[in-house]
Each structure stands twice: as C-alpha cells, then as structure tokens.
Structure 1
C-alpha cells in the first residue's frame, strides 16, 4: 500500500530547527555585522562565479533533463513549503552534495554523480531535502563564513591565528549543529526515518556494489554501541576529540538523532499540525470553487 506523503504548508524553519543549531547560531550572532559584510562584499560575486561554474561544468536538472530527479526536487520543495532552487549534477568520484544561497537570488544545489549512483531514488530525495534544509534555515551566509575563517587561519600573521582558530572552532561547532536541522528537513520530506538513516549508512561505508547488501538494523545497533561510549569519562573525551575538527557529526550520531526525533511527540505534533492546515486550506479551495 502506497503511503501518501503530506505537504507541510506554512512550515517554518524554527519548527524543526535542532536546539543545538539554534543555540550555536545565536552564539555566532554575537559577532555583529559579519553576515551583512559577507552578503554585501561577496554575495553578488560569489553567486555569479558559482552560476558560471555550474553552467559550464555541470548538468542542470529540469523537466527536460533528468526529469525523474527533477520530480524528486519538486516534491521535496512542496513538502517543505519552499521555492524551487536550481539543481545541478556534477561529475565527481567523492559522494557529496552541497548548496549555496548568499542573497537568496540564485540558490542552487549540486549533487555529485557518485552520490546518485550510491542511493535509491527516495534516498536521493532525502539528500536533496537535506540541502533544502540549509536554504529553509538560511544557513548560507554562515556556511561561507566558515570557509572564510578557515582560510584566514592560514593567512593571518601569528598574532591573529589564535583568534581565527577560536572562531573556526566555534563555526565548525555551528555547522555540525546545523547538519542536525537539515537531517530533520530530510525526514520531513521523505517522512520515513529509515530512508534518512540508510543514506547515512551508505555515506559511512557504502559503494554501488555494497549498498544493496548493507543491513540498516545492524547499522542502528552500531550507532547504539557508539552511544554507549559516553557512559565512561574516557569514552566521552575521545568522542569529543574525534568530532572537534569535523564539519559534520559522524554518521552514527546523525542516524541516532534522526531515529529519536522521528519517535518524538514533537515530530508527530508537527505533522499533525500541518496536516490540519493542509485540510483546512484544501476545504477552503473546494468551497471557493
């Protein structure tokens, strides 16, 4: 039996934003003016540069080019109540996806070919929705700040390295927290937690030949074993050290986080609230007709 997935009409970012993302964003906002400066100085140039690069060296997805992937994009945007950005496919052997939106004028998503080869269509939609989560939560400017500060760490004289490193650590912490919000966006689009967790499993240790053989339940057990390390002081210390310089939380942590949120009253209430909004709007349209 096919399950009809609902569109979350009127969905706001703060309805699904992870608390750690909210806390880390508020911490970054203690450096006033950075976001405005980046938007003003780099926004137009960066957008034009990436647009030209995408058009020159990628394949743009639309109704006439890879329409089955374009359909996945349209559905995800409808479910997250978001305008449709441009989507490009780029030849690259490293499975990855990323998004860019500096001023919101030319937002786009890029998927690597190796990622598409690794995933099922529903899993591809989860990845697209994850990237849409960055757009929904307006992460774009701070993602650029992360890259700029990392670059500055290598360019500043010795007296400035300590400050840059401190900001880098803070921004890496923010982006790790932001990824949890975007995983939630992926779940809201595909509305099946095992699809999102399967993506994370394949990114951790999959390949086009191994992917069909992977056991999701065994991966979930692996995530629980990793979580058990927090019961000892040494284990917690090693986990913190492992994650400190990463731009993304390790896959098992993300899988466990999405599993917990999918089982939470918060997630169920969110779906029910927007289902009610959807029914009311549909009824209103019917009456007007």
Structure 2
C-alpha cells in the first residue's frame, strides 16, 4: 500500500520529546560527534559491509524484490535515501541498522522476524530502522558508549559515575525506540500495523501470529498503565525496565496508539508534500535527509 510521502520530513518533527531532549544534550558535547564519525565511521562501515556481504542475502530489484519494494516505499514516505537491506538467517526475531558517516547505511532483518510478519508489518519494521538512520542514533549511541568507557577509567569515582551514565544511556536508548516506533507509524500510516508488530514480538510465533488480536493487546497495554499508575506500581515498573535497552512492548504499543491520535501526527500528514522556507510554503521533491 502506497502512503502519503512526507516530503521534507525532518527528524525533530517526529522525535519523542525525551529523545529530543537527550539528543540535544549529546549534540552540545563539542567535537565528539565529528571525532566518532571520523575515527570509527569508516572502520565500522567497512567491517559491517564485509560481514553482511559474507553472511547475509542482499536485497535488491533482482533479489527478494518484494522486500526491496517495501524498502523503497518506506524511504519515499520518510524522505530518505534508500540504504542497503540484508536478510540474515537467525532464530531470534530482530532487525538492526548502522550508519556512522552516512555513506554506507544498511538495515539487517532476521529471517525469523520476517516469518512472523505480513508485508505491511515488515514495512513497519523497515520504517523503524529507517528512523534510526533519519535521527542518526548510531552516532549518539557510540558517543554514549565512549563516555561510559572513559568514565570507567577514572578512579575512585569512575565506577559510580559510569553506572550513572550507563543508566542515562539506557534511558536514552528506550526513548530513541519510542521515536523510531513513530517512524514506523509514519512509514505505514496505520497504528494497528505497528501495534501488531509489537504484539508479535511480545508473544508471536509463525503458528500463533495469524490468531493474535490487536484490540486485546491494546487493552492489555491499558491494563499495564492502570497497574503501574500507583506510586508502588511506578517503582516496580522502573525497577523492571531500568536495565532494558528497549521499552516493554505493551508500553510501546500504548505510546504509538496515543501518538496516532495526536495533533502532531495529524499535522505531519496534513502538511505532506510541502516545506516551509522563511514562512513561505513551497512544493519540494526529492528524497533527502535534512
């Protein structure tokens, strides 16, 4: 299904507020962004390119063309240049992306994840990973890891400081996942598709996936909200999620369901195809990451 192309879409227009705050803080660290890109970018990109070519199937017009078409559609919707897409044999449902210098970005999807999903749900996963590229999360994740590593070398307060920074990094990672779920919604423009992906990640299998109920899962998400609304519930929820790199699936489903009903989401779709320059709205074409 073709969706409304969001020409001129900027990353900050769909970032989760907590992700935006944390990312802006990282951007204020002088010189580190450039250092990570220059020192680690080329090495990392070359390493992963060789790894992907050696151990995965590269998707293209002549290889798994239906997946390539989903990638192209998602990129057009999110106004992003098309990265490389690879499919890797793996029993754990997962997808990931990497781009440090922006020259060789790629997305990898595991076969076990593709087996769980419909085509629209695959597009949602692709959109989620494109959100990481659009927001340049790879750079800031590396920065966060470097900060934690450096802090750990400082004695005697280094260990305590590193633990604090590690907690902050994980919190930022969880916020970044909320942002990329929004990118998944923009790519599919159907919140039920995104919620279905999260439901299948929580408790899906190739045999169970067609039988799962999205409405029941969203009701489960609301029940999770109700149980964790008390002071004790908040404490238990924080303790359960403090060491996680991703928010729990029901929380992600609730967040995307709420954002799909927001004026921010509606305005992004309503303003599609136009970009504002100095107060003047003009039509702008092309796939560019601004």
TM-score, normalised to structure 2, is: 0.90
Once superposed, which parts of structure 1, at least 4 consecutive aligned residues long, lie more than 4 Å away?
146-159
> Are residues 1:40 and 2:55 paired?
no
Aligned match of 2:142: 144
Q: What is the aligned counterpart of 1:202 among 194, 200, 203?
A: 200
Q: What is the aligned counterpart of 1:6 among 4, 7, 15?
A: 4
Aligned match of 1:100: 98
SS of equivalent residue, structure 2 residue 97 = strand
Aligned match of 1:177: 175
Q: What is the aligned counterpart of 2:263 among 262, 265, 274?
A: 265
Aligned match of 1:189: 187
Alpha carbons of structure 1 residues 150 and 198: separation in structure 2 relative to 1, 3 Å:
farther
Larger helix share, 1 or 2: 1
Mapped to 2, the partners of 1:235 and 1:156 lie a distance apart of 36
SS of equivalent residue, structure 2 residue 176 = helix
Q: Deviations over 1:240-261 (max 9, x none)?
A: 1111111111111110111011
Moved more, 27-36 or 39-48: 27-36
Structure of greater relative contact order (alpha carbons < 8 Å, 6+ residues apart): 2
Alpha carbons of structure 1 residues 170 and 31: separation in structure 2 relative to 1, 3 Å:
farther
Mapped to 2, the partners of 1:194 and 1:227 lie a distance apart of 19
- How many angstroms does 1:25 deviate by? 1.3
- How many angstroms does 1:98 deviate by? 0.5
- How many angstroms does 1:113 deviate by? 0.7
Mapped to 2, the partners of 1:152 and 1:53 lie a distance apart of 28
Mapped to 2, the partners of 1:186 and 1:157 lie a distance apart of 43
Alignment of 1:155-174 (within 5 A): 159-174=157-172
Gaps of 5+ in 1: 285-289
SS of equivalent residue, structure 1 residue 274 = coil
TM-score, normalised to structure 1, is: 0.90
Mapped to 1, the partners of 2:274 and 2:103 lie a distance apart of 32
- How many angstroms does 1:138 deviate by? 1.2
Mapped to 2, the partners of 1:152 and 1:55 lie a distance apart of 33
- How many angstroms does 1:30 deviate by? 4.9
Aligned residues: 280
Alpha carbons of structure 1 residues 24 and 56: separation in structure 2 relative to 1, 3 Å:
same
SS of equivalent residue, structure 2 residue 100 = coil
Mapped to 1, the partners of 2:113 and 2:32 lie a distance apart of 33
Aligned match of 2:288: none
Q: Is the 8 A contact 1:146 1:172 kept in 2?
A: no
Q: Is the 8 A contact 2:8 2:274 kept in 1?
A: no
Aligned match of 2:17: 19
Alpha carbons of structure 1 residues 116 and 157: separation in structure 2 relative to 1, 3 Å:
farther
Q: Deviations over 1:175-200 (max 9, x none)?
A: 11111111111111101000000000
The root-mean-square deviation of aligned C-alpha atoms, in Å, is 2.3
Mapped to 1, the partners of 2:160 and 2:199 lie a distance apart of 36
Q: Deviations over 1:91-137 (max 9, x none)?
A: 11110000000000110000011000011110000000000001111
Q: What is the aligned counterpart of 1:256 among 246, 254, 271?
A: 254
Gaps of 5+ in 2: 276-281, 286-290
Alpha carbons of structure 1 residues 235 and 186: separation in structure 2 relative to 1, 3 Å:
same
